[in-house]
Every structure is written in structure tokens, then in C-alpha cells.
Chain A
């Protein structure tokens, strides 16, 4: 799977996009630690032009949940 969202995660986490899917989460991805997560939030906001609230960030426990959160904000991914 390769799309805009996966590409952002791939760049920030330093993981090949082929190894990422909507099921990828901090628990099954070694590079996804709290420092990477901070960079991810900044990268997602910049790439998709949105501001994520604390509640939305709390919901983003996997790439799939991040996708759902961004879609709920009107981002087309």
C-alpha cells in the first residue's frame, strides 16, 4: 500500500512504505516511539494543512485510525 498518508509515516518513521499498513501501530512498529510520534503529528499537520486537537491525537493509535481522523476533518486520503 502506498498513498500520501503512508508516505508521511514512511518518511518520519524511516520505514519502507511497503512495510506499513492501516494496522501499523506503535506496538508493531519499532521506530514508532514517542519522539517519532511528536514528529508525526507535526508532519501530518504540515502535509495535510490541518490542526489536530489533543482528543484527535489521542485517537490516532494506528495508521488506520489516523486516516479516519484526517478523513473526519475533510482530508481526502
Chain B
């Protein structure tokens, strides 16, 4: 977690420095293809600054995705089109799934393989790469889902054939490379095809969002980061300290993650790109469905479009299965572990209960401000109780839970 945050912050500081050079160039360049190329180069350079192997990997990945987009576009309506489509989806998913299942062995193989490729390209580049510490394929989960979204939309006919430079621009779009959001191609399409849409208002708003995000990450989340100790100290802590630590940790997690989203949205806005929001006051949701519609919304939207709908979410017979598979996708996107299986199942259960009550128009609580406040509290508590599964292995989480009722913690 510490390295992850460090890299993300460094990445955004590099992006800020690069933007000073990038902004006037972006404004001056007339052809849309040149501005797309400039953004792609900027994204590749930012990856290079972390480690050349990341740059080589992601450029290669998006070139391959562009080729796949072509294949899907031309074969979608033909014989074996569906088989091609599934084979391609499997190929795109393989690196991310392997990483999540095998962990460190995958990272070592990833480093060795990408090092070798760089050695073949350029010896000086290889020397730079060797000097960098082992860098995990940062951003792979975000990139994989963005690629999947692009390919699925092509298959169903929502996207036409895209030129290689458009796919590279989408894939290497700098603000979202490290920590999302999982943007859709349409979010950057219009702006990337028209003239630069720079305005003082947009830049000011963008700068404000970046500053707001930095305050969230570097001041507020940093101040609450110590709350993570609750997951190791609960055995020696008093009951109220364990609960307090857990509550504070939920805020640390939210401020940290949503802060990075603010920075990404802000940087995009400076350059005239209006990305969709990624968080919308999730801890003030009145039910669990509302929570998932306001927490990491780009991931929820992805799962809703690409899992919930195709799995039968819009048919009453299959809706509960679709809910379960959607939540498992969201959970396993974070990590493929037993704890995340439990996390997905827990939230799916909450959503299915909520869906059943909503369908039958059953309101357990009456309408009104006090009842709404209680709804918010219950939803927040429900979400809070799932956090140990998000941050601990299952066996340790199962040891942690009894401490919330005073078993195993100091009274």
C-alpha cells in the first residue's frame, strides 16, 4: 500500500511538471491527430519515468488492443465472430488474472520478460531499466478493464473502427494511467477529435480539483493513515478503539482513493476533457444500491454495462445471479483471494435483499429526515463491516471480526 501510494503521488507530480510544457504545445497544435499523438507520447514518457519496462509493456499492450479492435470490428457479425471475441477477451484478461493469482512469481517473470525486450530495443534504455527497483505492472487492472470496455463496445456495435492512434491515445491518456478512473472511450472521444477546448474557466476548475485532491490525499488521508494499525493491533486494543480505528480507516480509504480521482479528473479538465465523476458522497447513501452507484462509479458502471446486463440483470428470472456475478467481478478486480470472494458475496447479499424489498415496495422505515439518517447510518455500518475483507486475508479477517464484539480485544 505504501509503495502504491508513493508511486501514484510521484506520478502526478511528474504529470504536473510535464503539463507546464504540455499545455502550450497542446494549445498550439492544430491537427487533432497531433494532439492525440502528443498525449500518447506524454503518457508513454510518464510510464518511462517510473520504469522503461512499463512504457514498453503498455505501448505494446495498446498496439495489440488496437489490432484486436480491428479484428472484432470486422468479424463481429460473421461466422465464428463470437468465438474470436471470447478468445480476444481471454487474451486481454490473462495478464491481469495471472498477476492477481500468482502475485510475486508473475511480477518476477513480468520484470524478466520486459527487461529482455528492452535489451533488444536499446542497451542504454535497458541500463536505465535495470537501475529501477522491481516495479509491479502498476495500473494493469485499470488498463485491462478500459481495454475490455473498448472491445465489448466494438462487438455490440456501439463503437466503430478506431485508428491505431485513437486507441493509443485512449490507452495512454495520462491522467488515468495509474489509479483510474476506468474511463470509457466516449469520455475522451469528442474532445480528441475536435479542436482544443481550452478555457480559463475549465483550467481554473481543473486546478481547483487537483488542489482539492492533493489536500485529500496528502493532508487528510495522510493524517488518518495510522488507522490502518487497527488491523494489526486489535488484539491489544480496547473495544471502542477497534471500532473507532475501523471507522477512521473507512474515511482514510475513501479520502485517499477519491483524492486521486479528483486529481485525475482535474488534470483532464485543465486540458478540456470532462470525465465522469468517480465518487458521489458514498458514505451518505441511504441504501446499498445507492452506495454502489456512488462508490468507484467508473468500476460500477463498467460492471453494470458489461456483466450485469449480459448476465441477465434485466430479466426477473436471472437478476439475482446477475447481481452476484456483477459483485464478484467488482470484488475480484481488486484481488483474487478468498477474502474478496467473501467481500463480493457479502455485498451481493446486501444488494439482493435490497432489490427484493424494492421490488415489493417494502419500506422497513417510514419516510422522513430521521428515518433517512438511520438509513444512512445502517448503510455506512454495512459497508464498514466489509472493510476487513478488503484489506486482510480471510483467515486474519475472521480473527478480526470477533474483536468487534469484544472477543480477542482488550475490554
**Residue ranges of A at the interface with B (Cβ–Cβ < 8 Å):** 27, 33-35, 37-38, 40-42, 54-55, 57-59, 61
Contact = CB atoms under 8 A, between A and B. Distances in A.
Contact of B158 (A27, A40, A61): A61
B184 to A, nearest CB: 10
Given A34-B304, A34-B308, A55 B156 contact: yes
Contacts of A37: 313-314
Contact of A41 (B315, B358, B359): B315
B309 to A, nearest CB: 5
Given A27-B276, A58-B305, A34 B313 contact: yes
27 contacts: A27-B276, A33-B293, A34-B289, A34-B308, A34-B313, A34-B314, A35-B289, A35-B355, A35-B358, A37-B313, A37-B314, A38-B313, A38-B314, A38-B319, A40-B314, A41-B314, A41-B315, A54-B309, A54-B310, A55-B156, A55-B157, A57-B309, A57-B314, A58-B152, A58-B158, A59-B156, A59-B157
B289 A33 contact: yes
Given A27-B276, A34-B289, A35-B358, A59 B158 contact: yes
A51 B313 CA distance: 16
A6 B310 CA distance: 24
Interface of B: 152, 156-158, 276, 289, 293, 304-306, 308-310, 312-316, 319, 355, 358-359
Contacts of A42: 316
Most chain B beta carbons < 10 A, residue from A34, A37, A38: A34
Contacts of A38: 313-316, 319
A57 B308 CA distance: 11
A51 to B, nearest CB: 11
B289, B309, B355, most chain A CB atoms within 10 A? B309
A34 B320 CA distance: 12
B236 to A, nearest CB: 44
Nearest to B310: A54
Contacts of B314: 34, 37-38, 40-41, 57
B327 to A, nearest CB: 12
Contacts of A58: 152, 156, 158, 305-306, 309-310
Contacts of B316: 38, 42
B275 to A, nearest CB: 12
Which 3 A-B pairs rank lowest in CB-CB distance, beginning with the nearest? A41-B314, A38-B314, A58-B156
A55 to B, nearest CB: 5
Contacts of A59: 156-158
A29 B314 CA distance: 18
A41 B319 CA distance: 13
Contacts of A34: 289, 304, 308, 313-314
